Amino acid sequence: MSLNWIPRLSRRLASTLVWQPPVARADYEDRDAERMARELELIKVRFPHHA
Confidence of residue 24 (pLDDT cuts 50, 70, 90): low
Confidence of residue 40 (pLDDT cuts 50, 70, 90): very high
1 belongs to a structural domain:
no
12 to each of 20, 21, 27, how far by Cα in Å?
Answer: 17, 20, 32
46 belongs to a structural domain:
yes
Confidence of residue 10 (pLDDT cuts 50, 70, 90): confident
Segment 11-38 mean pLDDT: 77
17 belongs to a structural domain:
no
The answer for residues whose C-beta is within 8 angstroms of residue 34's C-beta and 6 or more apart is 28
More confident residue, 50 or 28: 50
> Secondary structure of 21-50 in the HEC alphabet?
CCCCCCCCCCHHHHHHHHHHHHHHHHCHHH
Instruction: Please report the pLDDT score of residue 39 as a whole number.
Output: 92
Counted domains in the chain: 1
11 belongs to a structural domain:
no
32 belongs to a structural domain:
yes
Q: CA quadruple 23, 29, 31, 35: dihedral positive or negative?
A: negative
Give the domain range for residue 48. 26-51
Segment 12-38 mean pLDDT: 77
33 belongs to a structural domain:
yes
43 belongs to a structural domain:
yes
